Structure 1
Amino acid sequence: MGGKIYIGISGWRYVPWRGEFYPPGLAQHRELEYASRQLPTIEINGSFYSLQRPESYAAWYEATPPGFVFSVKGNRYISHILRLRDVDPALSNVLASGMFKLREKLGPMLWQFPPNFAFDPERMEHFLSILPHDTAHALELARQHEPRMAGRAALEIDAKRKMRHAVEVRHDSFADERFVKMLRKYKVAVVVADTAGKWPYFEDVTADFMYLRLHGEKELYASGYTDEALDRWADRIRAWSLGGQPDDARTVSALAPPKRASRDVFCYFDNDIKVHAPYDAHRLMVRLGLRDSVAPRPAPPLKPG
């Protein structure tokens, strides 16, 4: 049967997309409404640059259709500024900032580290150990937020829901068996990141799901994917979704991953500069039997407003 497969895009607010992917004259505040009816999942990028507010998360929830899933990018204050030092209060702030407003549309959290951040086993293990794996635990941590969050924190959940985390690393020192073992211990996925050869590439299976970020086949953030490249990605995604891994998987660890009947797969295109991302996502979905061959698919009429 295989796990669920979600193919989407990283972010949705891009000037070059207006009048190209987005219909001419579409109001900017309706772009998420439109994009979420073309693709089943989108990464929230704004949460990386600054803490968002509960009302924003609530609005994003309302703008998207049933069954839609968001990935939330963790705040760079944790990964780039603190560099995993004394991160407990900062994590509480992130969790309190409003993501519980996404309710059943809350998908994985993505934690992206900078290219100059080397593997520090002690710091990384502490960070992985405090990541919550359900919303009830996340709420406990969120309640420990710093005073500056007063008046802009969302401290209520509608249900206890599973939470997932993925880590994207960009330093060669992470090609370390200890890192893979650590991720498996805490059930956190390593991001399979296609970066046109710029940063390390790992395909180790370390969790009950896979998280892929396709930044560009030949040129970072800019180049599109050929038919042959998309065929290859479709084959790999099928293998992962069926609980296995590709025969030619590029792994750090020689140890095989725990066996599973299936794994969910989240795949996001981040080659947005030249408007390739939404179209490449659609072409990959067609290959996986998740969409028909019409691209882009006409969106249903949008609600007035």
Structure 2
Amino acid sequence: MKNQILIGCSSYYNSFWKKVFYPQSLPSKEWFNFYCQHFDTYEFNGSFYKFPTLKFFQNWYNKSPEVFLFSIKVPKEITHIKKLQDCEGLLEDFYEVCKNGMKEKLGAILFQFPPSYAFSREKLHSIIGILNYNFQNVIEFRHESWWNAEVWNSFKENNITFCSVSHPDLPKTIFTDFPLLYVRFHGIPKMFHSSYSTNELTDIHSVIDSKKKGFIYFNNTASEAGILNALELKRMHV
């Protein structure tokens, strides 16, 4: 694991990947095991849609390799519905389930906010005030107003990582001076579908190559693009 930068995907259960990644004859129940033979991390997005139970995460812990890390997305109830308002207990429950279920395999905790969530100082202070700093917190914004020095400085002071994104409507800066390097490649120009060229991946690799710790996930998984891009970048980073 060069420089401890782990590369993976935000999905694995994908019929588009048959033949290009999964052997044609491999049953779908074996796909995750096959994925784990090629990657050391997985960005778990299922928790965004349904609040996870301890048993649920324990099952994922047990079926993953001994050396493996999961990054876990915070439920949308917290980030999209309540938008951090009056959910201190709910968030603490989520942290506890992640810690006790994933144990040493827990990587980052990913908060993804909706495009309607525009910057304000009140919201910034709300984020800083509610996080549990015993965890590696990563914040992904979908509104460009958050790309500002006040946010970046506050995050650095509080050991919070600002998520770098490759997204059709957002700045494409890869941030390297936060606690973690955390990059999500969503696909450009067609979100979730578009592939990144070898030249683009080479440029990306030149930026991340000297960084010591982080996660890179390909979320362009509505086609075969995500897995092929992840494999190519991983080969560059060996």
In structure 2, the partner of 1:115 is 115
Q: 1:54 to 1:19 in 2, by over 3 A?
A: farther
Distance 1:199 1:60 in 2: 33
Q: 1:95 to 1:79 in 2, by over 3 A?
A: same
After superposition, the C-alpha distances for 1:161-191 in whole angstroms (9 at most, x for unaligned) are: xx21111111121122211111112111111
1:213 is paired with a residue whose SS is strand
Bigger fraction of residues in helix: 2
TM norm structure 1:
0.72
The residue type equivalent to 2:4 in the other structure is K
After superposition, the C-alpha distances for 1:135-168 in whole angstroms (9 at most, x for unaligned) are: xxxxxxxxxxxxxxxxxxxxxxxxxxxx211111
Q: Name the % identity.
A: 26
Larger Rg: 1
Gaps of 5+ in 1: 135-162, 242-262, 291-305
In structure 2, the partner of 1:128 is 128
Is the contact made by 2:156 and 2:179 (CA closer than 8 Å) also made in structure 1?
Answer: no
Q: Which structure 2 residues correspond to residues 181-196 of structure 1 after superposition, within 5 A?
A: 181-195=153-167
Distance 2:137 2:190 in 1: 27
Q: How many residues align?
A: 237
Report the Cα offset of residue 281 of structure 1: 0.8
The residue type equivalent to 2:230 in the other structure is A
The residue type equivalent to 1:169 in the other structure is F
After superposition, the C-alpha distances for 1:116-137 in whole angstroms (9 at most, x for unaligned) are: 1111222332322332232xxx
Q: 1:200 to 1:78 in 2, by over 3 A?
A: farther
Is the contact made by 1:87 and 1:127 (CA closer than 8 Å) also made in structure 2?
Answer: no
**Residue 187 (structure 2) aligned to one of 216, 220, 227:** 216
Distance 1:218 1:51 in 2: 31
Distance 2:175 2:41 in 1: 23
In structure 2, the partner of 1:78 is 78
In structure 2, the partner of 1:254 is none
Of 83-92 and 104-113, the range deviating more from structure 2: 83-92
In structure 2, the partner of 1:152 is none
Distance 2:19 2:95 in 1: 35
1:97 is paired with a residue whose SS is helix
Distance 1:55 1:27 in 2: 24
Distance 1:93 1:56 in 2: 14
TM norm structure 2:
0.91
Distance 1:265 1:132 in 2: 19
The residue type equivalent to 1:68 in the other structure is F
In structure 1, the partner of 2:14 is 14
Is the contact made by 2:184 and 2:216 (CA closer than 8 Å) also made in structure 1?
Answer: yes
Report the Cα offset of residue 53 of structure 1: 1.7
Distance 2:176 2:7 in 1: 18
After superposition, the C-alpha distances for 1:252-274 in whole angstroms (9 at most, x for unaligned) are: xxxxxxxxxxx302100111111
Q: Which structure 2 residues correspond to residues 3-152 of structure 1 after superposition, within 5 A?
A: 3-18=3-18, 20-134=20-134
The residue type equivalent to 1:10 in the other structure is S
In structure 2, the partner of 1:285 is 234
2:3 is paired with a residue whose SS is coil
Distance 1:85 1:201 in 2: 29
- Aligned-residue Cα RMSD (Å) equals 1.9
Distance 1:221 1:45 in 2: 14
In structure 1, the partner of 2:171 is 200
Report the Cα offset of residue 206 of structure 1: 4.9
Is the contact made by 2:183 and 2:216 (CA closer than 8 Å) also made in structure 1?
Answer: yes
After superposition, the C-alpha distances for 1:60-93 in whole angstroms (9 at most, x for unaligned) are: 1121112111110111111110112123122023
Counterpart check, 1:228 vs 2:199: yes
